Chain A
Amino acid sequence: MGVGQAIRYWFMKEVGAPALMRLQKGRKGRRRRPRPHLGPPLSSASRLREIMTRHYFLARYAKGARPVAWVSSGAPVELLRVFDFYTVYPENHGALCGAQKMGQEICQEAEKKGYHHDLCSYARIDLGHAFSGKTPVGRLPKPDLLFCSNNICQTILYWFKELSHYWNIPLILFDTPYNFQEIKGSDIQYMVEQLEAMVPRLEAISGRKYSDSRLKGVLTLAKETSELWGRILATLKARPAPMSIFDAFVHLAPVVSLRGLPVSRQYYQLLLQELQERVKKGISAIKHEKRRLMWDNIAVWFKLRDWSHLFAERGCNFVAATYTNAWAETIHYLDPSKPFESMARAYSFVILNNNLKHRLNLMREMIRDYQIDGLVIHSDRSCKPYSVGQYDMGRILAQDLGVKTVVIEADMTDSRMFSEEQVRTRLEAFFESLGH
């Protein structure tokens, strides 16, 4: 690591970032779109903006000062924290590009190099960024390490393999056997051995020593953060719900990409407090919550804003989502007294590494607990592990629980794969079936 880069990073952390935050605070708020059907916005949102801006701002200066890793959303990042890696989440970056409506443009950079437009759009955004440098966040640091787990999909491995080849940098895979029927002792053993084998490699790449007590500390922090996230989501059981899932999609960022760092726990303490207050005072996410909905699959980032208004206008609030729930569902397995084994459990039982029977049961439970009237199934062209099986599951849930369902064909970031008209027609029919 270079001394110059270390000094620059330190300066930016201590002086540059706080100055930027002050500047942001001082700036007049963007002209807000009128919110005739939405409740008052969450005041924690400004703190979230600060945290994420700071994270991406410092990322620009991290290279050379700290080891840098690009990490997949389902990878056991806790282990990297022990070695002080600066971690960047390409999926989070992809979501950001999607929300800022830059998805299509950056995807096309990858397509120019021959990547087929049928491939996962997060991957195309990331590769497009790697080839062109295009990003709404200024600059991402080139990684020293690629760290992924196929507990979310096999696609992530294909994608990270390309980056590893392009930059000639190491790729570490945490290979998590799919839970078709049960995760056996042999599967856990396999995962534990992989985690153990990562330690010397991470020491070599980062130039830092492993510390057992540090890992335990990080695991405790991550567990508490995820538990807080779970409690935050549970506040949406209240009628009316104090926040919508469209908000949760955004507020998810710290538990995904800053997990295991104090800032994420602090943030969720703040958010939880605000939501509890709102519940007490009966402050609702939308003005007239008449129907409660559940969302399945990743968000359609470029429609988030429009749809929060559209659904609110119809008195529909999303109060649960399998996607946001994923970062609260299995983390309770983390146990600092058995760090490796518990990481193997926590990471292999995640929703996308689990069979559909499990997913059906989970959805049934959520529909019951959150008093769901309707289910919106986003059939995400990019994401096969999330989407294959949705048609059957939707039918089963509708039959068993009488919940209204609608399937919308879309993509999380690539707006070219989206037919406004077709989706609108389906949604209108859905609203009608809900009694509007």
Chain B
Amino acid sequence: MRGRVPDRLTYLLEQKEKGRAVFGVFPALCPKEMLWAMGVVPAEIWDPPLELVKVNSHLQPYICSVVRSGMELVLQGKSDFLDGFLFPHTCDSIQNMASVIKDCMGPEKPCYFFYLPKAPYTEAARTYYLTKLQELAGSLEKQLGGFDQERLGECVRLSNRISSLIEKLYAMRAKGRLRGTSRSFYQLLRKGEHLMPEDLIPLLEQYLTQNTLSEPKGSSGVIFSGILPNPLELLDVLDQLGTRVVHDDLLNCGRRLLAPKMDTTIGPLEALAERYFHLPPCPTKGSGVQERLDFLLDLVKKTDAKGIIFNMVKFCEPEWFDLPFIQKGLKDHGVPTLVLDMEINQDLSAQMITRVEAFLELIS
């Protein structure tokens, strides 16, 4: 699929017409390769741009907007065409929302759950994760028919190809050798939330070829941390002010897309299991504060970023708990930080733009 791809919904409906199942997958970390191998298209549900109306009689206002808008999507019937849901165990809110959907709203579609072991890990965690993969394969098989290890092996290779392209894109961007706005960069990455590998890989390749610069075109840069690269208008403001997002520590992007290559000499399930334990640190997995701090300092060093913008989602406990010590640690190392407290589909206020401008002035 060279060139243009249809919008998300059209794409997913086309996939269904091709005979594939489409699953709604909630944030954040899940072995998508397994779904690909079973002929399932994972359609991730992070921030559907919906007015939150129906959800108010199901979830309290103090629940994060990722969970609230995901549930709104279900309540508005916009997920009716899906063939199932997959809920990875990310945080308390996702965990309970999964149970509300399955146990209280009773959708007539299968609901799968994927528990992720939490750090500090013991040796048992590795075996456990592998077993959970096998069990997931077993239950998907009941709904969708034969699970083929060889096909999974192919999907692992495709996934590796995606990872190396994304890694290259990040590296080029950090060096200032990638043309294109932060908006276009993140829009491209986020296509991976619903495209199958055969459609995503050409897009990534195309972007890389068309936008590679022979000479670095430098502008000062910042790192983004938090959940999502939202709102896009924030990225526009940065672009307009001549600041690139040189790297990120976003749950939706870098923390899972910059996965190390999977070992193709071992079994595909084992390779998937190994990957989980080598992803960048993330508070939803229980990663230690020092580990995260070291990771961020290293990222600052490698990318020569001038500061970090914490783009926080309101009521997101895993992110907010770590923030004070991380901010302090960064400050001690002379790294300036800015904290934004946002709903995922919130408009950028004038006051927020002023704060961003003031921050960029400070670091320039």
Among the listed B104, B123, B321, B323, which residue makes an inter-chain contact with A123, where contact means beta carbons less than 8 Å apart?
B321
Among the listed A120, A150, A180, A396, which residue makes an inter-chain contact with B102, where contact means beta carbons less than 8 Å apart?
A180
In whole Å, how far is B294's beta carbon from the nearest beta carbon of chain A? 12
Q: A197-B123, A360-B103, A392-B58 are in contact. Are A177 and B115 (CB under 8 A)?
A: yes
* Chain A, range 103-130, C-beta contacts under 8 Å to B: 113-116, 118-120, 123
Judged by a CB distance under 8 angstroms, whether B99 is at the interface is yes
In whole Å, how far is B311's beta carbon from the nearest beta carbon of chain A? 14
Closest A-chain residue to B124, C-beta based?
A193
Judged by a CB distance under 8 angstroms, whether A387 is at the interface is yes
Q: Are B118 and A186 in contact (CB under 8 A)?
A: no
Q: Are B320 and A118 in contact (CB under 8 A)?
A: yes
Taken residue by residue from 58 to 76, chain B's Cβ proximity to chain A (1 for < 8 Å, 0 otherwise) reads as: 1110110001000000000
Closest A-chain residue to B96, C-beta based?
A388
* Chain B, range 100-139, C-beta contacts under 8 Å to A: 100, 102-105, 113, 115, 117-120, 122-125, 127-128, 131-132, 135
Q: Are B104 and A396 in contact (CB under 8 A)?
A: yes
User: Within 8 Å CB of B322, what residues of A?
Assistant: 158, 161-162
Q: A194-B124, A391-B60 are in contact. Are A355 and B102 (CB under 8 A)?
A: yes
User: Within 8 Å CB of A229, what residues of B?
Assistant: none
Q: Are B100 and A356 in contact (CB under 8 A)?
A: yes
Judged by a CB distance under 8 angstroms, whether B288 is at the interface is yes
In whole Å, how far is A319's beta carbon from the nearest beta carbon of chain B? 25
Judged by a CB distance under 8 angstroms, whether A91 is at the interface is no
Closest B-chain residue to A384, C-beta based?
B92
Closest A-chain residue to B319, C-beta based?
A158
Q: A123-B321, A157-B286 are in contact. Are A118 and B315 (CB under 8 A)?
A: yes
In whole Å, how far is B75's beta carbon from the nearest beta carbon of chain A? 11
User: Within 8 Å CB of A391, what residues of B?
Assistant: 57-60
Judged by a CB distance under 8 angstroms, whether B318 is at the interface is yes
Q: Which of A180, A181, A189 has the most CB of B within 10 A?
A: A180
Judged by a CB distance under 8 angstroms, whether B13 is at the interface is no
User: Within 8 Å CB of B318, what residues of A?
Assistant: 154, 158
A150-B98 Cα distance, complex, nearest whole Å: 17
Among the listed B60, B103, B105, B283, which residue makes an inter-chain contact with A355, where contact means beta carbons less than 8 Å apart?
B103
A390-B95 Cα distance, complex, nearest whole Å: 14
Give the segment of A17-25, A164-172, A231-239, A281-289 that binds chain B.
Answer: A164-172
Q: Are A114 and B323 in contact (CB under 8 A)?
A: yes
User: Within 8 Å CB of A161, what residues of B?
Assistant: 286, 288-289, 321-322
Judged by a CB distance under 8 angstroms, whether B93 is at the interface is yes
Judged by a CB distance under 8 angstroms, whether A51 is at the interface is no
User: Within 8 Å CB of A280, what residues of B?
Assistant: none
User: Within 8 Å CB of A356, what residues of B?
Assistant: 96, 99-100, 103-104
User: Within 8 Å CB of A396, what residues of B?
Assistant: 104
Among the listed B67, B96, B118, B283, which residue makes an inter-chain contact with A175, where contact means beta carbons less than 8 Å apart?
B118
Q: Are A389 and B128 in contact (CB under 8 A)?
A: no
User: Within 8 Å CB of B284, what residues of A?
Assistant: 154
Q: A120-B317, A194-B122 are in contact. Are A392 and B131 (CB under 8 A)?
A: no
Q: A360-B103, A384-B93 are in contact. Are A175 and B59 (CB under 8 A)?
A: no
Q: A173-B120, A186-B135, A389-B104 are in contact. Are A118 and B62 (CB under 8 A)?
A: yes
* Chain B, range 338-360, C-beta contacts under 8 Å to A: 341
Judged by a CB distance under 8 angstroms, whether A381 is at the interface is yes
User: Within 8 Å CB of B105, what residues of A?
Assistant: 392
A181-B132 Cα distance, complex, nearest whole Å: 14
Taken residue by residue from 319 to 342, chain B's Cβ proximity to chain A (1 for < 8 Å, 0 otherwise) reads as: 011111101100000000000010
Judged by a CB distance under 8 angstroms, whether B171 is at the interface is no
A161-B95 Cα distance, complex, nearest whole Å: 20
A150-B341 Cα distance, complex, nearest whole Å: 26
Among the listed B118, B314, B315, B327, which residue makes an inter-chain contact with A157, where contact means beta carbons less than 8 Å apart?
B118
Judged by a CB distance under 8 angstroms, whether B82 is at the interface is no
Judged by a CB distance under 8 angstroms, whether A393 is at the interface is yes
Q: A115-B324, A158-B317 are in contact. Are A173 and B118 (CB under 8 A)?
A: yes
Q: Are B118 and A162 in contact (CB under 8 A)?
A: no
User: Within 8 Å CB of B135, what residues of A?
Assistant: 184, 186
Q: Are A158 and B283 in contact (CB under 8 A)?
A: yes
Q: A116-B320, A153-B92, A355-B103 are in contact. Are A171 and B120 (CB under 8 A)?
A: yes
Judged by a CB distance under 8 angstroms, whether B32 is at the interface is no
In whole Å, how far is A162's beta carbon from the nearest beta carbon of chain B? 6
Q: Are A392 and B104 in contact (CB under 8 A)?
A: yes
Judged by a CB distance under 8 angstroms, whether B172 is at the interface is no
Q: A119-B320, A154-B91 are in contact. Are A388 and B60 (CB under 8 A)?
A: yes
Closest B-chain residue to A118, C-beta based?
B315
User: Within 8 Å CB of A11, what residues of B?
Assistant: none
In whole Å, how far is A304's beta carbon from the nearest beta carbon of chain B? 22
Taken residue by residue from 338 to 375, chain A's Cβ proximity to chain B (1 for < 8 Å, 0 otherwise) reads as: 00000000000000000111001000000000000000
Judged by a CB distance under 8 angstroms, whether B306 is at the interface is no
User: Within 8 Å CB of A150, what residues of B?
Assistant: 118
User: Within 8 Å CB of B341, what residues of A?
Assistant: 116
A389-B284 Cα distance, complex, nearest whole Å: 21
Q: Are A154 and B131 in contact (CB under 8 A)?
A: no
User: Within 8 Å CB of A379, what residues of B?
Assistant: 60
In whole Å, how far is A408's beta carbon from the nearest beta carbon of chain B? 12
User: Within 8 Å CB of B57, what residues of A?
Assistant: 391
* Chain A, range 303-340, C-beta contacts under 8 Å to B: none
Closest A-chain residue to B283, C-beta based?
A158
In whole Å, how far is B288's beta carbon from the nearest beta carbon of chain A? 6
Q: Are B96 and A173 in contact (CB under 8 A)?
A: no
Judged by a CB distance under 8 angstroms, whether B237 is at the interface is no
* Chain A, range 176-200, C-beta contacts under 8 Å to B: 177-178, 180-181, 184, 186-187, 189-190, 193-194, 197
* Chain A, range 143-168, C-beta contacts under 8 Å to B: 150, 153-155, 157-159, 161-162, 164-166
Closest B-chain residue to A392, C-beta based?
B104
Judged by a CB distance under 8 angstroms, whether B97 is at the interface is yes
A175-B129 Cα distance, complex, nearest whole Å: 12
Closest A-chain residue to B89, C-beta based?
A178
Among the listed A123, A158, A180, which residue makes an inter-chain contact with B113, where contact means beta carbons less than 8 Å apart?
A180
Known: A384-B96, A393-B104. 15 other contacts (CB 8 A): A115-B321, A118-B315, A120-B317, A123-B321, A154-B91, A158-B321, A171-B120, A173-B120, A180-B95, A190-B125, A356-B99, A387-B60, A389-B96, A390-B60, A391-B59
27 contacts between A and B (CB under 8 A): A114-B324, A116-B320, A120-B317, A150-B118, A154-B91, A154-B92, A158-B317, A158-B318, A161-B286, A162-B321, A165-B290, A173-B119, A175-B117, A180-B95, A186-B132, A189-B124, A190-B117, A193-B122, A193-B127, A194-B122, A360-B104, A384-B62, A384-B91, A385-B92, A388-B67, A388-B92, A388-B93
